[in-house]
Amino acid sequence: MTAQKSTKRPTIYEVAALAGVSKSLVSLVLRDSPQVSPARREAVLQAIKELNYEPNAAASNLAGKSSGLIGVVIDDYSNTWFIETLKGLREIFDEAGYHLAVSDLHEVRTRHSDAASALFAMKVDGLVVAAEPSTLSDRSTDIPYVIIGSRQTRPKRADVVTGSDELGAELVVDHLADLGHKVIGHITGRDGAAHKRLDGFLSQTKARGCTGYFAGEGRATDEATGYDCTLELMREHPEITAIFAANDFMAAGAIAALKKLKKRVPQDISVAGYDDTVIAGPKFLDLTTVSDSGAEIGRQAAKLLLRRIKAAQTAPHDLDLVPTLIARGSTAKVKK
């Protein structure tokens, strides 16, 4: 076979012509179908190589039932917790031959559409929802999907994979109480994970005989909320000796607020976060935090979704991964 040079991007029809087969057979090879004979498969692969052909996702959607795409809806690109989760998703889906398409929920909140609309148009084979399911249209239930993280709503037929947020919050309170902190502030937010962490905080401060104050309900779980709520908590309850934030970014905001108040971390106030994101590491905030194994959550979610794609009627499965506390330099024994 000899390919003609062209400046245009080669098409699936050119691949078919060069290989001497039909377009449909090329599509079968692209989907790694077992229905193709070894000889014809080799001819198609050789034509793809000679033409330097790259499959078009949209065209593949039209050519067969499987697009080879998995859609991922996330709350916000600025939350780096999703980076580790995406790594876990990619590890499993790459091996299974799927590509990921990611949509940011915040991008479309002002539009008359939802974050999954573009993914539906691409005819994704499944959906990973790392956001509140209630923010998506009813079309989300037309395809197999899995929910990642604690959410306030839980569709009946969806698989759910999350860390045990209440337990993680309890681990933080135990750590602070063991350091002698008796009055602890907590910064929460409006999402499901924040609610679960607040529940764990309240139950464990009571169990450990500590006084717990909190702020931030209904607000965004970002640095600005961490900053504002820390100022609020310290103004109303100056006896606080430790602050636990619902995620690492809120903890970063809390540290900035304490700096404004001329409070040293951890000498004057201890600070802990949640998620063990990159900013929590020793080279950055050196933040005591909770690891909920974001990459493992991604891996397990991918496995469950692949199972549901193969058997849509499989019973829903809930998986809670056990979190671990990572003590770093942002927490210390309370000053006597």
Where would I find the beta strands (DSSP E) of the chain? 69-74, 99-104, 126-130, 145-148, 159-163, 183-187, 211-215, 242-245, 270-272, 289-291, 318-321, 324-326
CATH number attached to the domain at 12-63: 1.10.260.40
* Domain 165-291, CATH among 3.40.50.2300, 3.40.50.2000, 3.90.45.10, 2.102.10.10: 3.40.50.2300
- What are the residue ranges spanned by the domains of the chain? 12-63, 69-163+294-322, 165-291
* Same topology between domain 12-63 and domain 69-163+294-322: no
Contact yes or no for 182/334 (Cβ under 8 A): yes
Q: Which pTM does this prediction carry?
A: 0.75
Q: What is 69-163+294-322's CATH topology?
A: Rossmann fold (3.40.50)
- Say if CB 10 and CB 53 are below 8 A apart: yes
pLDDT score for 111: 47
Which structure tokens are listed for 327? 């003590």
What does the pLDDT read at residue 178? 98
User: What pLDDT score does 135 carry?
Assistant: 60
112-140 b/e with 16+ CB inside 10 Å = b? eebbbbebbebbbbbbbbbbbbebbeeeb
Q: Which residues does residue 146 pair with via DSSP β-bridges, in sequence order? A: 128, 159
Query: Can you list the residues of the chain whose pLDDT is less than 50?
Result: 1-6, 57-64, 107-112
pLDDT, tens only, 5-26: 445 678 888 888 999 998 778 8
Question: What is the rounded CA–CA span in Å between residue 271 and residue 88?
Answer: 28
Each residue's pLDDT tens digit, 257-293:
999 999 999 999 999 999 999 999 999 999 999 998 8
pLDDT computed for residue 110 by the predictor: 46
